[in-house]
């Protein structure tokens, strides 16, 4: 169990993000009516993803480094209602936690972070869909 908030943040009040492990996430997606939002980049997604996931990148990789997707909340709102139950995942669980904070601030009431992300999902041997490589153009 995670220790309580240590009060080091200057933000107040702190947004509490519900985090579930990958086994709980699998169960929520499979039988509890939750949908899965993958916030990884398209490049990460192309290497494998959860079946029936929807992708809205939280960050983009640019020549200057990673930059936050300025239209993230708007893009998510075009796919999910603010009442829907959504499990949010990324590669390791950090971006998805940040995404949950932004979504909650925008009024999404039922978002959960998948702790450990795709790495933990794969590490548990849970099913993934490996996308076929996109055709190259000459």
| Whether the Cβ atoms of residue 87 and residue 72 lie closer than 8 Å to each other | no
Residue 106 to residue 73: CA distance in whole angstroms: 7
β-pairing verdict for 65-68 and 86-89: unpaired
Catalytic residue among 88, 90, 114, 120: 90
| Catalytic residue flag (residue 100) | no
Q: How many C-beta atoms surround the C-beta of residue 33 within 10 A?
A: 10
Query: Among candidates 86, 102, 99, 22, which has minimal Cα distance to 54?
Result: 86
Catalytic machinery residues: 90
């Amino acid at each position: 169990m995670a220790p309580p908030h240590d009060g080091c943040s200057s933000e107040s009040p702190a947004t509490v993000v519900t985090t579930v492990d990958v086994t709980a996430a699998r169960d929520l997606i499979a039988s509890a009516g939750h949908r899965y939002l993958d916030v990884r980049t398209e490049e990460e997604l192309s290497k494998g993803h959860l079946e029936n996931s929807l992708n809205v990148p939280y960050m983009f990789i640019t020549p200057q480094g990673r930059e936050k997707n300025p239209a993230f909340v708007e893009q998510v709102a075009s796919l999910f209602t603010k009442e829907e139950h959504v499990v949010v995942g990324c590669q390791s669980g950090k971006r998805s936690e940040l995404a949950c904070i932004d979504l909650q601030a925008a009024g999404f009431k039922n978002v959960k972070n998948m702790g450990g992300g795709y790495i933990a999902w794969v590490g548990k041997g849970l099913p993934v869909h490996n996308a076929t490589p996109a055709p190259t153009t000459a």
